[in-house]
Amino acid sequence: MRARKGILCRGLFPPRDVCYKTGRGSTGIFQVCILASGSAGNCVYAGSERTGILIDAGLSFVQIERRLAAAGLSFDQVRAVLVTHEHADHVSGLVRLARKRLDRKRPLPIYLTERTASSIDWQNLTPHLELFQAGARVVVDDLEIDSFTVPHDAIDPVGFTVRAQGVKFSLATDLGYIPDSIRYHLQGSDVLLLESNHDLEMLKVGPYPWPVKQRVMSRVGHLSNDHACDFICQDLDPRVQTLILGHLSEQNNHPEIVRLMADQALLARGISPRLVVASQREPTEAFTF
């Protein structure tokens, strides 16, 4: 496969006739909804009034539709899917999603790196792939999306920032630590989805085999609550309006532990954004800016 630049996906769907509150410096709306976050499936919606995208498709098509609807959104708003990496909890629903859009005679562009694309079983589907290299910017209608490399045990994993209507949303999950390059990309975020995967003591005494525990704790594994809070204390942009902590382990963490530790870190940082702990089992609200 040959790498191609991102395309402008214009005019696929008409804008919705709705009115929402706007973010700073914006003339429209920007929405973010975490449909699911965790080891059983990950999927995030981000979009403007004109354009919606999904980041990852680790849920069934039925679940994606249901969770979008529960947040007041629709799959018909989705014009593209971006993929962070090839692990099943991020792509298990991708082929079905692409087939479903083909059934509706609207090809669904899938943005991912070439190495990630080559590691996915497309099941005889000929998908509409838009290939990019980590670090590249792609444009989907009025959404500007920057990609960046993350340290994780996948083929070519990336994180994303999405900008529209004067709002910046950043996603940094499935990473073993936060290098300076990622800290740079997360600056200026209005909305941030950050991993807070495990409580270190719970992981150490938990049910995982020792090799799995070592992988989770490694520099290509997952962020612990302590590491997430270190970032909050030292580097979280004070302008952030909504901080979402996600990809919690169901065996080695608990939402109340995450919330308590994050509250303490925010207090130490001296800022008070809205704090949300994302769930594996139900979507967040559609945060609107």
pLDDT digits over 30-75, tens only? Answer: 999 999 999 999 999 999 999 999 999 999 999 999 999 999 999 9
Q: Report how far residue 175's alpha carbon sits from residue 153's, in angstroms, rounded to the nearest whole number.
A: 8
Domain residue ranges in the chain: 30-288
- In terms of pTM, does the model score above 0.75? yes
Question: Please, how many CA atoms are within 13 Å of residue 114, restricted to the half-sphere of its CB?
Answer: 8
pLDDT digits over 177-225, tens only? Answer: 999 999 999 999 999 999 999 999 999 999 999 999 999 999 999 999 9
Look at domain 30-288 and name its CATH class. alpha beta
234-255 burial string, b = 16+ CB within 10 Å, else e? eebbeebebbbbbbbbeebbee
Burial class (CB in 10 A: 0-12, 13-18, 19+), 145: buried
To 10 degrees, what angle do helices 94-103 and 61-70 make?
Answer: 80
- Taking CA atoms, 127 is separated from 85, 205, 250, 266, in Å, by 16, 43, 33, 43
